[in-house]
Amino acid sequence: MIKTLTVTTRRQGLQDITTAVNRVVGEADVREGLCTLFLQHTSASLTVQENADPSARHDLEQWLNRLVPEHDPHYTHTFEGPDDMPSHIKAALTATSLGIPITEGRLALGTWQGIYVWEHRYSGDSRRLVIHISA
Amino acid sequence: MIKTLTVTTRRQGLQDITTAVNRVVGEADVREGLCTLFLQHTSASLTVQENADPSARHDLEQWLNRLVPEHDPHYTHTFEGPDDMPSHIKAALTATSLGIPITEGRLALGTWQGIYVWEHRYSGDSRRLVIHISA
Amino acid sequence: MIKTLTVTTRRQGLQDITTAVNRVVGEADVREGLCTLFLQHTSASLTVQENADPSARHDLEQWLNRLVPEHDPHYTHTFEGPDDMPSHIKAALTATSLGIPITEGRLALGTWQGIYVWEHRYSGDSRRLVIHISA
């Protein structure tokens, strides 16, 4: 089963999609299987992160912003704005696809794990997430 | 087939799980298929690395420790100890899931590849690895 | 279905393999399914990146070269040349495996996405990519 989910991001940062993906897994009615997520973009990405304390996600976002600065004089790909080239780099350093087993009809996530779309552009966008589920 | 493996890490660093995962693949009795690994944690991760010379793994660990320092004054998520926030960042930069084809009843790894759980906390922990195998 | 593709890289950098992988997907004759790519090397890796403007890939490569410098005095794994240890680090920061859904008999990539083997050694090499396709 394949389903495409549209995730509307409104700003740069991590957006929790765990509940939305688990809903798709529930609809697939698979007790044990594999859920593969694939994000169809190169200026946003996927990550599995701490779902409890928002300060961990805040620090992670800020750390990556410091690692991949804007207005780096080495950049030549600049015509789409100062947040575009850093977005491609951040996407390359994180994940475009994730494979998550399904047990008891749900994603087999750890207690403290959430799944996030990581928007790297300032303004957010409509992001398409392709979800493949197999038994 | 889904099996959960508990990997006991005793200290920060890469721990080889290749033999343990190949044992699960062998028990599944699948000649050709796909093995998906998913680690249920956000302060440890997965990586495929050089299995021959330990100096490559040592340099990799030390490099990442320099990239993601402890006691960064920007961190606000500090109450779980100085190694906690760096652990989340390191996990985001490496892999939480891996998909590895199975050929001739074994993981189709390259000659110099091993699979590792990368423990990012000092003291190690009990880490749960969910293994999904399909034909 | 599993097929191994040999990708000959001739120099350091991103090499587009989208067409070659889509050809294998076409031969598998699967309308809907999952394509998993696994690279059998630890000094090259996989990435999904912008396929339109080569300047984005150029900036990405140069940025990673600055992040992971050669001749770092901390390296101890140096006997395979100055580009070897940086290669292992770069591979750890990017992807060794990718899961991409198949829709309408083709990889469900976004409009601006291409799949690349990222060669981290100067001289390039023969790189083996294992492709698993399931319905």
pLDDT in tens, B4-45: 999 999 999 999 999 999 999 999 999 999 999 999 999 999
Dump strand ranges (E) for chain B.
Answer: 2-8, 13-16, 33-39, 44-50, 97-103, 106-107, 113-119, 126-134
Residue that the structure tokens 């279905």 belong to:
C1
- pLDDT for C71: 96
- pLDDT for C51: 96
Residue B67: pLDDT band (50, 70, 90) is: very high
Using 50 as the pLDDT threshold, list the residues of chain C that sit under it: none
Q: Chain C residues contacting A, CB < 8 Å?
A: 32-34, 36, 47-50, 53, 55-56, 58-60, 62-64, 66-67, 93-95, 98-101, 103, 108-113, 134
Instruction: Output the CA torsion sign for A13, B46, C61, C63.
Output: positive
Question: How high is the ipTM of this complex?
Answer: 0.97
Given a contact cutoff of 8 angstroms between Cβ atoms, the answer to whether C12 and C117 are in contact is no
Per-residue burial over A31-54, b = 16 or more CB atoms within 10 Å of its CB, e = otherwise: eebbbbbbbbbbbbbbbbbbbeee
Out of A68, A76, A93, the one facing C55 most closely (by C-beta) is: A76
d(CA A30, CA B119): 32
Given a contact cutoff of 8 angstroms between Cβ atoms, the answer to whether A60 and B88 are in contact is yes
**Could you tell me which of B110, C57, C17, B76 has the C-alpha nearest to residue A85?**
C57
Given a contact cutoff of 8 angstroms between Cβ atoms, the answer to whether A99 and C35 are in contact is no
Check CB contact under 8 Å for C60 and A99: no
d(CA A69, CA B103): 43
Touching C (3+ Cβ pairs <8 A), the chains are A, B
Check CB contact under 8 Å for B56 and C93: no
- pLDDT for B105: 97
Question: Domains in chain B, ordered, with CATH?
Answer: 2-134 (2.60.120.460)
Closest approach of chain A CAs to the CA of C110, in angstroms?
Answer: 4
Check CB contact under 8 Å for B59 and C68: no
d(CA B42, CA B31): 32
Helix axes A54-67, A84-93, angle to 10 degrees: 120
pLDDT digits (tens, 9 = 90+) for C2-39: 999 999 999 999 999 999 999 999 999 999 999 999 99
> What's the Cα-to-Cα distance from A73 to each of A42, B19, C59, rounded to whole Å?
22, 47, 11
Given a contact cutoff of 8 angstroms between Cβ atoms, the answer to whether C16 and C52 are in contact is no
- pLDDT for C30: 97
Q: Which two tokens stand for residue B23?
A: 């044992």
Using 70 as the pLDDT threshold, list the residues of chain A that sit under it: none
Given a contact cutoff of 8 angstroms between Cβ atoms, the answer to whether B17 and B129 are in contact is yes
Q: Which two tokens stand for residue C12?
A: 């350091």
Backbone angles phi, psi at A98, to 5 degrees: -140, 140
- pLDDT for C108: 98
d(CA B128, CA B8): 9
Closest approach of chain A CAs to the CA of C1, in angstroms?
Answer: 15
Out of A67, A92, A132, the one facing C47 most closely (by C-beta) is: A92
Q: Chain B residues contacting A, CB < 8 Å?
A: 2, 36, 38-42, 67-68, 72, 74-77, 85, 88-89, 91-93, 95-99, 128, 130-132, 134
Closest approach of chain C CAs to the CA of B50, in angstroms?
Answer: 6
SS3 B45: strand
Closest approach of chain B CAs to the CA of A81, in angstroms?
Answer: 24
* Eight-class DSSP state of C10: -
Average pLDDT, chain C: 97
d(CA B92, CA A93): 8
- pLDDT for A39: 98
Size of interface A-B (CB pairs under 8 A): 87
Check CB contact under 8 Å for C59 and A76: yes
Residue that the structure tokens 């992971």 belong to:
C68
d(CA C20, CA B67): 36
- pLDDT for B120: 98
- pLDDT for A36: 98
What is the pTM (predicted TM-score) of this model? 0.98
CB-neighbour burial class of residue C73 (10 A; exposed 0-12, middle 13-18, buried 19+): exposed
Chain A residues with CB inside 8 Å of C98's CB?
A: 96-97
d(CA B24, CA B96): 19
> Residue B48 corresponds to which amino acid?
V
- First vs last Cα of chain C: how many Å apart? 9
CB-neighbour burial class of residue C65 (10 A; exposed 0-12, middle 13-18, buried 19+): middle
SS3 C40: coil
SS3 B71: coil
- pLDDT for C82: 97
Residue B85: pLDDT band (50, 70, 90) is: very high
- pLDDT for B90: 98
